[in-house]
Structure 1
Amino acid sequence: MRIAILGNKGSWYCKKLSDAANTRGHAAFRLEFRDLASHVLEMQQEQFFSFDTDSNHNRLTDFSCLIIRTMPPGSLEQVVFRMDLLGRLEHSGVTVFNSPRSIECAVDKYLTTSRLAAAKLPVPTTAVCESSEAAMQQFQQMGGDVVVKPLFGSEGRGIFRISDPDLAYRSFRTLERTQAVIYLQQYISHPGYDTRILILNGNVIGAIRRHSNNDFRTNLSRQAHAESYLPNDLEAELAIRAAELTYTEFAGVDLLYRSDSPNECYVLEVNAVPGWRGFQSVTKVDVASLVIEYLEQKRNNVDSSQS
């Protein structure tokens, strides 16, 4: 196969995926979102390209698979164009992994939380609004202790906890002025760790517990430390169901327990571009090889159905 990997220069994940692809006899190429382009020609099939800095270009339909390893920030127009192009590329026969549909859902915290709650999965009490007045009202109703998150974002960036009314008002006003969506969840007092479960094709491939380092956030990018963990049946079921509800074939699902109710487990997030560097360091699971093997199976199934 020819495999395109949408990722950042110097990315550890791109290297691991490229190495795994090369080991299995495939050719892998790193691309960037900013270089993607479409040519819609009159009365002809649409053409998709990736232009590099030397003005050379790759025809995207020459790739069997395209793996999404980053979702960089951008304007609304840029984000919409990227998702539209990925959708059209998938329609043309390229296997996009994860699918544009799943990326669109999982990258949006509101849509993910809403879908999980509608399916009766346990999620923290959440409010999403645009005005500071509405946010203050929800802040009070949640007991005056909330976690504010960017609607789009990962690795704990832009997340902060507020329990002071004056600070809450100033923070919500600032977000309102910048035309941000205000996403807040009731703070859950937890035992200092959460659980990250990796899902591939509806199966658990492993899990870790991430212990915080004097921070309510348990992201490894914020100096939390990880240990290998065997999830119980309930945790595995929640993770598999959450991935299914967000259409993600490859997902990192985060679960959190309450300190005062150790049997009460919440689904915090579904990540459709999950990191696994810390996961692999403690579990020794070769995630990149599993991903490439799975894509081989998907392409074999596609080729068989077309023959």
Structure 2
Amino acid sequence: MQVLFIIDSIDTLKAYKDSTVAMMYALSAKGHELFITEQKDLYINGQVFAKTQAIQVIDGANLEEHSWWQEVGSVQETNLADFDAVIMRKDPPFNMEYAYSCHLLAYAEKFGAKVFNTGIAMLTHPEKLSITEFSQFTSPTLVSKDMARIKAFHQQHGDVVVKPLDGMGGMGIFRLGAQEPNLSSILELLTKNGTETIMAQRYIPEIVKGDKRILVINGQAVPYCLARIPLAGETRGNLAAGGRGVAQPLSERDWEIANSLAPILRERGLFLVGLDVIGDYLTEVNVTSPTCFVEITQQTDFDVAAFFVEQLEQVLSK
């Protein structure tokens, strides 16, 4: 099986903890061939092509270094439909270039390309906004660019979290307590003086126990989540913001949320999803490049990347 990964520059990947790298090693272990490309190298010329490079991952390599992979052969111009699978792992932000790439991937699917997650599914499931469809599982939430409306929401709930709709890794997230002296300044900054839409949610105190990442692969929840526990004095549990990742079994509520969303999202073309749950509340539906494969695998008896490959093989064999 030949698998193409659409990624950021491979030299920027932190291989020792990167979920994409874990996928590559798991695929290689099963004898599958690996190829890489970048978003900038996708193009349409009748059909959708990419400038691709075959690579090999090196068993036993020091993943702290850049020598964990090597090129095989030369760069080729390849039709996406010629690969057995195309895996989109470009990191956010979800900007217009990302949206254009999703359109290209959707177009490639018309000619037989098998894309995971599908272009249309990624395009129509913004990671912050998608939770509004499942309001039975969310904390009170407001999406608006109207600063007066956001201030009224803040006054109603007293303690809220506000965040941009296109961030990642905890960027731009603020907790606004009942007596926040910088309320207006923060809202002006985030909404760019009322010109950009943001999200506000009632603060969930259980964040101190961790922002849980639940991975759903081909409609099945991984039985362990990664609770990303904030540093003392921090509101954000994101690993990129210094959070500490602790793997733990899914709770009864976690299973309820995952099992409710999983079949719906799979039907829509979302093969891999990262659900974020704080306490009993769904906070995000991550569809671009969900992470935490490595941390869960290292701390439990469940090999997430191997399960990912098993499910991918199963889908492609049909």
Q: Same fold (TM over 0.5)?
A: yes
Is 2:76 the counterpart of 1:59?
Answer: no
- Give the C-alpha shift of residue 105 in structure 1: 4.1
| Consecutive unaligned residues in structure 2, runs of 5 or more | 54-73
User: 1:251 and 1:55 mapped to 2: Cα distance?
Assistant: 31
- Give the C-alpha shift of residue 199 in structure 1: 1.6
String of CA shifts for 1:217-262, please: whole Å, max 9, x gaps. 22222332233322233321212323444443322222222xxxxx
- Give the C-alpha shift of residue 55 in structure 1: 7.8
User: 1:231 and 1:107 mapped to 2: Cα distance?
Assistant: 24
Partner AA of 2:275 in structure 1: V
Higher relative contact order (CA 8 A, sep 6+): 2
Count, aligned residues: 282
- Give the C-alpha shift of residue 295 in structure 1: 1.5
String of CA shifts for 1:15-70, please: whole Å, max 9, x gaps. 32222222212111111111111113xxxxxx111136998522212111111222
Question: Is the partner of 1:51 in helix, strand or coil?
Answer: strand
- Give the C-alpha shift of residue 126 in structure 1: 0.9
Is 2:112 the counterpart of 1:96?
Answer: no
Flag as ranges the 4+ runs of structure 1 deviating above 4 A: 52-56
- Give the C-alpha shift of residue 74 in structure 1: 6.3
User: 1:249 and 1:74 mapped to 2: Cα distance?
Assistant: 18
| Consecutive unaligned residues in structure 1, runs of 5 or more | 41-46, 258-264, 302-307
Question: Is the partner of 1:107 in helix, strand or coil?
Answer: coil
Partner AA of 1:50 in structure 2: A
CA contact (8 A) 1:196 1:254 kept: yes
Partner AA of 1:73 in structure 2: P
Q: 1:149 aligns with which of 153, 160, 163?
A: 163
Counterpart for residue 252 of structure 1: 274
String of CA shifts for 1:112-149, please: whole Å, max 9, x gaps. 122111xxx32011111122222222222222x21111
Map residues 1-307 of structure 1 onto 2, 5 A cutoff: 1-8=1-8, 9-10=10-11, 11=13, 12=15, 13-40=19-46, 47-51=47-51, 56-73=76-93, 75-76=95-96, 78-110=97-129, 112-117=130-135, 121-143=136-158, 145-163=159-177, 164-177=179-192, 179-190=195-206, 192-194=208-210, 195-207=212-224, 208-214=226-232, 215-246=234-265, 247=268, 248-257=270-279, 265-272=280-287, 273-276=289-292, 277-301=294-318
User: 2:32 and 2:23 mapped to 1: Cα distance?
Assistant: 11
User: 1:75 and 1:230 mapped to 2: Cα distance?
Assistant: 34
User: 2:261 and 2:236 mapped to 1: Cα distance?
Assistant: 21
RMSD: 2.4
String of CA shifts for 1:263-296, please: whole Å, max 9, x gaps. xx11112222210232222125322222222221
Partner AA of 2:258 in structure 1: A
User: 2:247 and 2:94 mapped to 1: Cα distance?
Assistant: 35
- Tell me the TM-score normalized by structure 2: 0.80
User: 1:269 and 1:281 mapped to 2: Cα distance?
Assistant: 24
User: 2:297 and 2:306 mapped to 1: Cα distance?
Assistant: 12
User: 2:272 and 2:92 mapped to 1: Cα distance?
Assistant: 19
User: 1:21 and 1:185 mapped to 2: Cα distance?
Assistant: 39
Question: Is the partner of 2:231 in helix, strand or coil?
Answer: coil
Change (3 A) 1:140 1:100: same
- Tell me the TM-score normalized by structure 1: 0.82
Once the two structures are overlaid, the 10-residue window that deviates more, 212-221 or 122-131, is 212-221
String of CA shifts for 1:69-125, please: whole Å, max 9, x gaps. 22343653x233111111112232222112224323443312x122111xxx32011
Partner AA of 1:203 in structure 2: Q
Question: Is the partner of 2:223 in helix, strand or coil?
Answer: strand
